[in-house]
Amino acid sequence: MRDPEPPLAGGMIDAARRPPGRVEMMYSAAEISARVGALAADIAETLGPDILVVAVLKGGFVFTADLLRALHHHGVHPRIDFMTLSSYGTGMESSGQVTITRDITDDVRRAKILLIDDILESGRTLAFARELLRERGAEMVHLCVLLDKREKRKTEINADYVGFTIGDEFVVGYGLDYAHYYRELPYIGIIATD
Ligand code: IMP
Ligand code: MG
């Protein structure tokens, strides 16, 4: 039998490696899946089969992967590209400054773009990305988010397709993180504060 990991110096537990807090479920995997299917139907009807999906990373990757497969069932055959944007740092408040960490490589001129992110909060991230894609010559840019935290908006922006509208709560799972944890949860939850 393999020996267990040697204890850390002084016998201390490496607490930093454990996910912080406890997560209470807000939307189950089944609820999310049903909503994603309905969004795909709506998007296919409005935008048609020939679109360019631009997914905002990191948070948008799970939602985008599920939505793409749902779109397939509605006859949509999108191109797909990714853009990594950051405004957050590791805490629960946005810094306000959006920066591109990784840009898309596809040509967006005359494209019908579906810009996807996990959540719309202040609106700065998607306002920045939409403006950039418009400046580069996109024919249209429609916004799609799984979650909309309307109360926290700091800019004039609304999504064309919204999964769920939520209150001023910090959520994790299904792509969303807290301090790099919880992106892999198949559901959306709130970190309990007790
Ligand atoms: P905005 O620019 O303020 O709209 O923020 C959008 C970005 O902040 C999202 O793409 C998320 O990455 C992150 N974010 C906002 N609210 C939450 C949350 O409740 N949990 C995890 N990440 C969040
Ligand atoms: Mg994000």
Look at 37 and 194; give whichever has higher pLDDT.
37
Asked, for residue 2, whether it belongs to a domain, the answer is no
Residue 122 CA: nearest ligand 1 atom is 3
Per-residue pLDDT tens over the stretch 66-79: 999 999 999 999 99
Q: How confident is the model at residue 2 (pLDDT cuts 50, 70, 90)?
A: very low
User: How many whole angstroms from 28 Cα to the centroid of ligand 2?
Assistant: 21
Asked, for residue 1, whether it belongs to a domain, the answer is no
pLDDT at 193 over 50: yes
Q: Measured from the CB, is residue 119 less than 6 Å from ligand 1?
A: yes
Asked, for residue 22, whether it belongs to a domain, the answer is no
Asked, for residue 58, whether it belongs to a domain, the answer is yes
Residue 163: domain span: 28-169
Q: What proportion of the chain, given as a percentage, has pLDDT over 70? A: 87
Which residue's CA is minimally distant from atom 12 of ligand 1? Answer: 59
Domain count, the chain: 1
Asked, for residue 179, whether it belongs to a domain, the answer is no
How many other β-carbons are positioned within 10 Å of the β-carbon of residue 143?
22
CA–CA distance, 94 with 53 (Å, rounded to integer): 25
Residue 58 CA: nearest ligand 1 atom is 12
Asked, for residue 23, whether it belongs to a domain, the answer is no
Look at 155 and 20; give whichever has higher pLDDT.
155
Confidence (pTM): 0.89
| Mutation choice for ligand 1 from 56, 82, 94, CB with most ligand atoms inside 8 A | 94
Asked, for residue 59, whether it belongs to a domain, the answer is yes
pLDDT at 178 over 90: yes
Q: Measured from the CB, is residue 112 less than 6 Å from ligand 1?
A: no
Q: How confident is the model at residue 16 (pLDDT cuts 50, 70, 90)?
A: low
* Long-range contacts from 168-173, C-beta under 8 angstroms, 24+ separation: 169/26, 170/92, 171/26, 171/119, 171/147, 172/23, 173/23
Give residue 4's pLDDT.
41
Per-residue pLDDT tens over the stretch 78-133: 999 999 998 865 566 666 789 999 999 999 999 999 999 999 999 999 999 999 99
The CATH number of whichever domain residue 63 belongs to comes to 3.40.50.2020
Q: Measured from the CB, is residue 124 less than 6 Å from ligand 1?
A: yes
SS3 166: coil
Asked, for residue 177, whether it belongs to a domain, the answer is no
User: How many whole angstroms from 33 Cα to the centroid of ligand 2?
Assistant: 20
Instruction: Identify residue 99 by its one-letter amino acid code.
Output: T
pLDDT at 12 over 60: no
Which residue's CA is minimally distant from atom 22 of ligand 1? Answer: 176
Give residue 87's pLDDT.
80
Q: How confident is the model at residue 1 (pLDDT cuts 50, 70, 90)?
A: very low
CA–CA distance, 111 with 104 (Å, rounded to integer): 13
